[in-house]
Amino acid sequence: MRITSFPLGPLETNCHILDHQGRALVVDPGGDPAEALVFLRSEGLSVEHILVTHLHFDHIYGCASLAEATGAPVLAPAADAYLMDTELGQGGVFGFPVVTPFASQPVPLGQSRYIGLECRCLATPGHTPGSVTYYFPQAKAAFVGDLIFYRSVGRTDFPGGSAEALKRSVLEQIFTLPDDTALYPGHGLDTTVAAERTHNPFFLHDMF
């Protein structure tokens, strides 16, 4: 199992690719996926699913073109579907581009299998009402979107955000994962459960 990340789009959103035995999935293609596609093709990888952690514009810019190029379905949180009728989902605000429309299917919560690997899709609201985390036990990896970052947490001041819900999501869903679980956020550096439980100032000093 291998995880490769590309910062894409105007906000350098981390696009994560998990591959296993020639099969691949892509998490949060937040910009032009050309660089990711070059990697996928050079490695002979077949993309089977495009997974979205939440439906903010900076995490979905590349969904339409990636889905067209690979034929892979886009799976996104049902509770965030309403965002596609707002500027937070459609883009076009603050000088950012508009999101190219794309078809998506609701991602099922709980146990699933992608590219032959067990996945637990965890409901982790706070940054958005529908934010989810994709946890792959065999890969010892969790794709957390904008829930938690290296020594920080996601914004909760957008419509639909909740600091209380975010804190609860981290404490109940993320910090209960094995200590050596790698956390792959939507922006910035990767980290681990143990490192954030020990060093993240938002939880050390109860800054919520």
Backbone angles phi, psi at 55, to 5 degrees: -100, 45
Query: In this predicted model, what pLDDT tens digit does every residue of 116-164 receive, in sequence order?
Result: 999 999 999 999 999 999 999 999 999 999 999 999 999 999 999 999 9
Give the pLDDT band of residue 96 (cuts 50, 70, 90). Answer: very high
Q: For residue 206, what pLDDT is reported? A: 62
Dump pLDDT digits (tens) for 105-114.
999 999 999 9
Domains of the chain and CATH, by start: 2-204 (3.60.15.10)
Q: Is the pLDDT at 204 greater than 90, yes or no? A: no
Mean predicted lDDT score pLDDT of the chain: 96
Q: What is residue 208's predicted lDDT score, i.e. its pLDDT?
A: 55
Q: Is the pLDDT of residue 172 over 70?
A: yes
Confidence of residue 88 (pLDDT cuts 50, 70, 90): very high
Q: What pLDDT score does 94 carry?
A: 83
Is the pLDDT at 71 greater than 90, yes or no? Answer: yes
Q: Determine the average pLDDT of the residues in 68-97.
A: 95
